[in-house]
Amino acid sequence: MRALLVYESMFGSTSEVARAVREGLTAEGVDVALHEVRSAPAAADADFDLLVVGAPTHAFSLSRPTTRRDAVRQGADEDRAETGLREWLRTLGPKDAAHHRPAAAFDTRVTKVRNLPKAASTRASHLLSRHGYQLVSRPAPFLVDDVKGPLLDGELDRAREWGREVARAALHATSGSSAAS
Ligand SMILES: Cc1cc2nc3c(=O)[nH]c(=O)nc-3n(C[C@H](O)[C@H](O)[C@H](O)COP(=O)(O)O)c2cc1C
């Protein structure tokens, strides 16, 4: 199974989580292409069986140009404001192009509320499902101590484990039975 893993990160925490998720996916035998959103291929140009996306929560959702500029004012690298996951998800194309492929989304956030209904991963999951992808995991939050990080202790271990769970659920889903939760 080949996975496309696309992430956005302003200060580096989501990037660290993405690398841990890749380790988890790889541990289950998935071949992972990891891309920061600015250099990610459009979905239509990439060959993958599983799509995993991650982004920082900005203003209870995926980032927008205004929130990314706000992050730059708080010290993030200016180039990172160029584009974000919300913009990349627009390259997903029509619903039938998804072929019901498995997908999952994670985010980073400071809020400790676990099942926050409005966050980057809930928005991304909604868009994935609207574009015809089959969600194989609930939106997954990973916690940072403050806007610029660091991640809380144990979050990278959780991210590795989440990557493994997503891989197993995706393998199960593509082997013919439903594994969405
Ligand atoms: C403009 C802005 C808005 C934010 N809004 C939220 C928010 O609504 N909820 C939240 O939990 N964290 C919020 N945060 C904190 C980010 O989630 C945090 O900076 C991010 O997880 C760090 O990941 P990164 O290093 O990959 O950018 C916000 C941060 C910025 C810069």
Domain containing residue 45: CATH number: 3.40.50.360
Other beta carbons within 10 angstroms of residue 136's beta carbon come to 25
Q: What is the pLDDT of residue 137?
A: 98
Domain assignment present for residue 131? The answer is: yes
> Taking the model in full, what pTM does it have?
0.96
Q: Check: CB of residue 130 under 8 Å from CB of residue 169.
A: no
On average, the pLDDT of the chain sits at 94
Q: What is the pLDDT of residue 111?
A: 87
Using a 6 Å cutoff on CB, does residue 10 contact ligand 1? yes
Q: For the residues 164-171, what does the mean pLDDT come to?
A: 98
Q: What is the pLDDT of residue 176?
A: 66
Domain assignment present for residue 66? The answer is: yes
Taken in order 133, 134, 138, 140, is the CA torsion positive or negative?
negative
Using a 6 Å cutoff on CB, does residue 110 contact ligand 1? yes
Q: Residues 83-141: pLDDT tens digits?
A: 999 999 999 988 888 889 999 999 999 988 877 889 999 999 999 999 999 999 999 99
Number of domains composing the chain = 1
Domain assignment present for residue 113? The answer is: yes
Cβ-Cβ contacts under 8 Å for 56 (sequence gap 6 or more): 8, 9, 10, 11, 13, 14, 63, 71, 107, 108, 109, 120
Whether 181 has a pLDDT exceeding 70, the answer reads no
Q: What is the pLDDT of residue 61?
A: 98
Domain assignment present for residue 79? The answer is: yes
Using a 6 Å cutoff on CB, does residue 71 contact ligand 1? yes
Residue of 6, 17, 58, 156 with the most ligand 1 atoms within 8 Å of its CB, for mutation: 58
How many angstroms separate the alpha carbon of residue 35 from the centre of ligand 1?
Answer: 20
Using a 6 Å cutoff on CB, does residue 70 contact ligand 1? yes
- 36 lies in which domain range? 2-174
Q: What is the pLDDT of residue 99?
A: 87
Residue of 61, 106, 107, 147 with the most ligand 1 atoms within 8 Å of its CB, for mutation: 147
Domain assignment present for residue 13? The answer is: yes
Q: Residues 149-165: pLDDT tens digits?
A: 999 999 999 999 999 99
How many angstroms separate the alpha carbon of residue 110 from the centre of ligand 1?
Answer: 7
